[in-house]
Amino acid sequence: MPLTIRSKNKVHHFTVEVAATPDQQERGLMFRQSLADNRGMIFPYDPPEDAAFWMKNTFIPLDLVFIRADGTIVRISTAQAMDLTPVPAGEPIGAVLELRGGLCAELGIKEGDIVTWTK
């Protein structure tokens, strides 16, 4: 599914997998050896919830992009591979986007940027 992030001076385009079911959300990007810079996975929540993520069986670091229901990025956290420490959203969110670890910093994606995708 196409997804865009509208930053201050640029629009970033990605193709993401959707983790729509509980089983898909539990597995996420576990066991992957790599993730291309234009790929990711989105975890939608309807209704919004205060989710937390950890990296069990996830072999690559990931940027966790916590997104409000209106599409605004509320928080970005880079999670290390295999870290079991929960990373909380901190508030009810409409989705979490997982991208390659460090990519948000490289592209200048920040809190307050706007994410759009087909819901």
Number of domains in the chain: 1
Q: Which two tokens stand for residue 50?
A: 């205060």
* pTM beyond 0.85, yes or no: yes
What is the tens place of the pLDDT at every residue in 57-105? 999 999 999 999 999 999 999 999 999 999 999 999 999 999 999 999 9
* Dist. CA 40–CA 16, nearest whole Å: 5
CATH classification of the domain holding 39: 2.60.120.1140
* Dist. CA 80–CA 91, nearest whole Å: 22
The CA-CA-CA angle for residues 46, 36, 44, to 5°, reads 0
Q: Could you list the residue range(s) of the whole structural domain that residue 98 is in?
A: 2-117
What is the tens place of the pLDDT at every residue in 14-57? 999 999 898 898 899 999 999 999 999 999 999 999 999 999 99
Within 10 A of 45 (CB to CB), how many other CB atoms are there?
17
